[in-house]
Amino acid sequence: VGIKPPDLKRIFDLYFTTKEKGSGIGLSMVYRTVQMHDGEVEVQSTPGAGTRFRILLLQA
């Protein structure tokens, strides 16, 4: 539960994963898709407590 601080810098890197069966593609795809729409992805994480992702997009 939660993401370790050293891993936070890499979570959007393609193929980065800390899971044995993870592909490391999901968050990278989310990040790139949000960027293509001029948006932002915010991350707040506390190891041992949890992680919150917030996606901000411009209103059309």
pLDDT, one tens digit per residue, over 11-47 is: 999 999 999 999 999 999 999 999 999 999 999 999 9
Name 34's Cβ contacts closer than 8 Å, sequence gap at least 6: 40, 41, 55, 57
Query: pLDDT class for 1, splitting at 50, 70, 90?
Result: confident
Q: Which of 52, 43, 47, 44 is nearest to 2 (CA)?
A: 47
**pLDDT reading at 60 higher than 90:** no
**pLDDT reading at 57 higher than 90:** yes
Instruction: Answer whether 42's CB lies under 8 Å from 27's CB.
Output: no
The amino acid at residue 22 is G
Euclidean distance between CA atoms 53 and 2, whole angstroms: 11
Identify the pLDDT of residue 45. Answer: 97
Number of compact structural domains in the chain: 1
Identify the pLDDT of residue 29. Answer: 98
Residue whose tokens read 């994480």:
45
* pTM for this prediction: 0.84
Domain of residue 36 covers 5-56
